[in-house]
Amino acid sequence: MQRGGDYLFSELIIGYLFLGGTGAGACFILAIMGLFVPRDELEVLELRSDERTIRPKLRVPGSYRSLFAAGYLVALVTLALGVLCLALDLGHLDRIILFATSPTPSYITIGAYALLACILASSALLLHWSGTLSRSSIWLLRVLELIAIGIAFVVMLYTGLLLESLRSVPLWSNPWLPVLFVLSSISCGAALVLVVAR
């Protein structure tokens, strides 16, 4: 984005914001969809080793596994590419360390930490939906999905808040801008999920 001969953001930062929003939107959509999967389709009762108690165990059917595992993998890659764009824009390792340990909170540092948290949540959900975690439970999956929804929402929202806070562009000083960015991220994330579902 150019303003008066100077660039407001580099192409890498634009890529970081777009990829982060798209990946968070996909994580948001997948987590909401996951909450609507009926419990009885994801849970099987297992006899414990003492042969006296029955314990519910997470079992992911193949149809759900193919959608959710692939979806979270693509969301994870998209989020990681966003982080890579940010790291490349910062350039030097000392700048990355300074950015990560900055005592002054800003929209971009909060967003970067939220993006890393979204990567962790997507990774955990990928492990659950792929069936990798054999000892997991449905309640843990549901808790992770709720956490992912909250974190993904923060990632989608902060870009709009960041741009709204920049007074150098009067058009962006609008309370509807964060709403626009949330809806845009959800739209791009939904498109990503639809591509995976085909």
Q: What is the pLDDT of residues 70-115, one digit of tens each?
A: 999 999 999 999 989 988 887 777 777 777 777 678 887 888 889 9
Residue 1 confidence (pLDDT): 47
Of 18-22, 128-132, 151-155, the poorest mean pLDDT is in: 128-132
Residue 51 confidence (pLDDT): 64
Percentage of the chain modeled with pLDDT above 70: 90
How far from 100 is each of 41, 68, 116, 122, CA to CA, in Å?
Answer: 42, 31, 11, 21
Backbone angles phi, psi at 153, to 5 degrees: -65, -40
Residue 104 confidence (pLDDT): 78
Overall pTM surpassing 0.85 (yes/no): yes
Distance (Å, rounded) from C-alpha 131 to C-alpha 60? 6
Distance (Å, rounded) from C-alpha 39 to C-alpha 142? 10
Q: What are the structure tokens assigned to 191, written together? A: 């498109």
Percentage of the chain modeled with pLDDT above 90: 45
Dihedral of the CA atoms 175, 177, 178, 182 (nearest 10)?
140
Tens-place pLDDT, residues 151-195: 999 999 998 898 888 877 778 888 899 999 999 999 999 999 999
Please choose, from the candidates 157, 170, 142, the residue with its C-alpha nearest in 3D space to the C-alpha of residue 38. 142
Domain regions of the chain by residue span? 2-197
pLDDT mean over 122-149: 91
Residue with tokens 């959900």: 125
Per-residue pLDDT at 49 exceeds 80: no
Backbone angles phi, psi at 132, to 5 degrees: -65, -35
Backbone angles phi, psi at 138, to 5 degrees: -65, -35
Q: Is 147 or 63 the better-scoring residue by pLDDT?
A: 147
End-to-end CA distance of the chain: 34
Superfamily in which the 2-197 domain is placed by CATH: Formate dehydrogenase/DMSO reductase domain (1.20.1630.10)
